Amino acid sequence: MIPALVPLAFCGFFVSGADGKLSADATHVVLMREGTRTVLSMQNDYAGPLEDFALVVPVPVVLQQENVKTLPKSLFESVDALSAPRLVEYWEQDPCPAPYVGGDLKLGGGGGAVQGGSGGSGLTFGGGASAVRIEAEFAVGEYEILILSARDSGGLDGWLRGHGYKLPEGTEPALRPYVAAGSKFFVAKVDVKKVKLDGGRAQLSPLRFHYDSETFSLPVRLGMLSSSGTQDLVVHILAPAGQRYDVKNYPAVTIPTNLDVSEAARKDFRTFYAALFDKTLEKNPRAVVTEYAWGAQSCDPCPSSQSGLTAGELTTLGADVLPSTRIGPLDDTPTPPRGAVVRVGAIDVKGTIPGSERVVAGLRARFRSCYQTGVNNDPSMAGSLVLKVAVSTSGEVASADVTSNAGVSPGVAACVSGVVRRATFAPGGGTITIPLTLGADVPMPVVAPPVPRPPRIGVQSIGSGFTLTRLHARYGRGALADDLVFAAAEKIVGGREERGATGELETGAKPASMNAFQARYAIRHTWNGPIACEHPQRGVWGGPWPDAGAPSPGTAIATKLAYAPRGGTTLASFVPNGIPEQAPATSPSSPDGGTTAPRRVSACGCDVLGAREDKAWFSAGLAFVALAITAARRRRSPAS
């Protein structure tokens, strides 16, 4: 029986043991990186006959059983949901509200939001056997693992074919540089009887393995050997110390964000986002698009029932093997939850600024968002700020300067100052002094002492300030000539309801002292009730009006974007005001044949020039290239 070919988006191709045609449209990869240590977790899906197949991944070293794990699929779903493009819905608040008597007025980034459309479906994106040697053999989950070494690519090609694997034309030349670099080959054979089906697609348990390499990269070239159509690749990168990553050998752009969309997006959010993404790639061919860069343990707004990755989830994704992780006795004493709290002290007003107390109190939610983002980089941060705000006679903020800072990071202080600068007060004019206290809210301690028990050994610390970066590529056969190489990138913000000097929402990314960028879109309902006060406050957004007859819905997210409907719709039907022009990304090609990092271009037009990367990167230290193939059901014979 002739094995059939399966296109694979990530790093290779599947080959089945049956004649049926298989297909794979998307792959999710989660990488964790610190120093030279890379932890790679990947999940693939396919549709077609359920025959035995294998996944073959060239690796730089011989992996042992303790290096390889299977992960729960739900963990990938959590990561995908946290970083997915999101849709929120805001209602303009009464411009003439009753006097403020306490509590928070929810604004901007964390206010009311919409849920997905119809039922939320899809919303939540040499020669011969003598040339090959078996270095290790073990079982993990539904996988039977072999670690192979090969003296030459022809010998490896012949060994695989001789053991029932059908390879496409061009496999041997593609394997040649990796064999020459001394890589080993991780072969995971799968018993498909143990694989669950979801809508006709087999859901493989995600695989995780780690290794050390100077180069931080991800293979894509071998996957195109058997590609017959367009494929999606979503790469999530988790890194401690607030580090963001970007590609350095392909054009790099950020997705336009902060766009106001029509109510049609409520039902067809995935369709809208797919059209926006495709338009971005049309303007920037071969680009890899940044869709998210944020602290991994928080979000604003958050998908429903999620507020970031837990320490346990970060550990499962690889934090347990990072250099900064500490292993030792665990403290089982119950720890009360802690939350970021911002307290606004008594403000001092000089001049005539009616209603200033209410406006400042209404900014607390945004102050807290600034502080929460900063705490992700430094969990121990707490302190106080004093701001002096100058208000013009028209009510616009002329300046908002931090005159006192005790223990608060410069990034958080700048964020708080920016929140005040974008506020609007009643006409009059004068100055306002605003004291703020930022700290952690500590509940009452647990009264009952813990039950004595033997100490457990485990992960004591996983570092701090993990940043989650989401990169999205969509490409056809032959579109990507080189594997993706990643480099540390500057911190950026965007998609946070921030407005520029003219009051317009900023629609791209800009450099910042913290990472807080997301693909975020909003449906807005302007106030349509009476306005009966002398100084109405317009442009304050929050949850549904009291007489709307419905509670504030949650945040909609667009997942499974590879399967989003495409064609038959236009962006104009979703974005009445149009998409801001985005500067094209520059080519990474250099005159001498090497690869030079592209300028990282955002919708706001800012860019950063990266460093040079030579095409022969794999000769210094080979990072992964994966080649996924499927064997006919037959008994494997050992290599001699």
Q: What is the rounded distance in angstroms from the CA atom of residue 607 to the CA atom of residue 509? A: 9
* In contact, 385 and 413? CB cutoff 8 Å: yes
Is 449 within a domain? no
Q: Tell me, yes or no, whether 265 and 412 share the same domain.
A: no
Tell me the pLDDT tens digit for each residue of 263-307. Answer: 888 888 999 999 999 999 999 988 999 999 999 988 888 886 677
Question: For residue 28, what pLDDT is reported?
Answer: 79
Is 422 within a domain? yes
Instruction: Look at residues 38, 5, 124 and name the one whose alpha carbon lies nearest to residue 76.
Output: 124
Which residues lie closer than 8 Å to 305 by C-beta, 6 or more apart?
Answer: none
Residue 502 above 80 pLDDT?
no
Residue 588 above 60 pLDDT?
no
Is 301 within a domain? yes
Q: Tell me, yes or no, whether 414 and 278 share the same domain.
A: no
Is 56 within a domain? yes
Is 130 within a domain? yes
Q: What is the rounded distance in angstroms from the CA atom of residue 21 to the CA atom of residue 49? A: 8
Tell me the pLDDT tens digit for each residue of 556-580. Answer: 898 888 778 887 778 888 888 777 6
Instruction: Look at residues 430, 401, 115 and name the one whose alpha carbon lies nearest to residue 267.
Output: 115
Per-range mean pLDDT, top range of 14-28, 64-78, 167-181, 588-602: 64-78
Instruction: CATH number of the domain at 436, please.
Output: 3.30.2420
Question: For residue 449, what pLDDT is reported?
Answer: 53
When pLDDT is cut at 50, 70 and 90, the band that residue 461 belongs to is low
Q: How does strand 217-218 pair with strand 600-601?
A: unpaired
Residue 331 above 60 pLDDT?
no
When pLDDT is cut at 50, 70 and 90, the band that residue 230 belongs to is confident
E strand or H helix at 92: strand 86-92
Question: For residue 425, what pLDDT is reported?
Answer: 87
Q: Tell me, yes or no, whether 171 and 212 share the same domain.
A: yes
Is 334 within a domain? no
Q: Tell me, yes or no, whether 296 and 343 share the same domain.
A: no
Task: Name the β-bridge partners of 485.
Answer: 217
Q: Tell me, yes or no, whether 289 and 175 share the same domain.
A: yes
Tell me the pLDDT tens digit for each residue of 83-94. Answer: 999 998 888 888
* In contact, 256 and 287? CB cutoff 8 Å: no
**187 or 639: which leads in pLDDT:** 187
Task: For residue 454, count CB atoms less than 10 angstroms from its CB and return exposed for 0-12, middle for 13-18, buried for 19 or more.
Answer: exposed
Tell me the pLDDT tens digit for each residue of 144-164. Answer: 888 888 888 888 888 887 877
Q: How does strand 556-557 pair with strand 600-601?
A: unpaired
**401 or 18: which leads in pLDDT:** 401
Q: Which residue type is seen at 610? A: G
Q: Tell me, yes or no, whether 350 and 313 share the same domain.
A: no
Q: Is the peptide bond prior to 638 cis by the omega test (within 30 degrees of 0)?
A: no
Q: Tell me, yes or no, whether 279 and 349 share the same domain.
A: no
* In contact, 492 and 257? CB cutoff 8 Å: no
Q: What is the DSSP letter of 326?
A: E
Domain boundary among 407, 441, 475: 441
Residue 633 above 90 pLDDT?
no
Structurally, the chain folds into a number of domains equal to: 2
Q: What is the DSSP letter of 165?
A: B
Tell me the pLDDT tens digit for each residue of 404-449. Answer: 999 888 888 888 988 898 888 888 899 999 999 988 654 444 445 5
Domain boundary among 375, 408, 441: 441
Q: Tell me, yes or no, whether 407 and 282 share the same domain.
A: no
Q: Supply the pTM of this predicted model.
A: 0.70
Which residues lie closer than 8 Å to 121 by C-beta, 6 or more apart?
Answer: none
For range 199-203, the mean pLDDT: 65
Q: Tell me, yes or no, whether 382 and 300 share the same domain.
A: no
Question: For residue 161, what pLDDT is reported?
Answer: 79
Q: Tell me, yes or no, whether 314 and 355 share the same domain.
A: no
When pLDDT is cut at 50, 70 and 90, the band that residue 458 belongs to is low
Tell me the pLDDT tens digit for each residue of 117-150. Answer: 333 333 332 344 457 888 888 888 888 888 888 8
* In contact, 455 and 330? CB cutoff 8 Å: yes
Q: Tell me, yes or no, whether 295 and 363 share the same domain.
A: no
Domain around 55? 5-82+123-322+465-492+581-629
Residue 112 above 50 pLDDT?
no
Is 593 within a domain? yes
For range 504-510, the mean pLDDT: 85
Residue 61 above 90 pLDDT?
no
Residue 492 above 90 pLDDT?
yes
Is 158 within a domain? yes
Instruction: Look at residues 550, 577, 566, 508 and name the one whose alpha carbon lies nearest to residue 114.
Output: 550
Q: What is the rounded distance in angstroms from the CA atom of residue 483 to the CA atom of residue 382? A: 43
For range 66-94, the mean pLDDT: 89
Residue 539 above 50 pLDDT?
yes
Q: What is the rounded distance in angstroms from the CA atom of residue 456 to the CA atom of residue 330? A: 5
Q: Tell me, yes or no, whether 352 and 431 share the same domain.
A: yes
Instruction: Look at residues 41, 471, 34 and name the one whose alpha carbon lies nearest to residue 239.
Output: 34
Question: For residue 581, what pLDDT is reported?
Answer: 66
Question: For residue 141, what pLDDT is reported?
Answer: 82
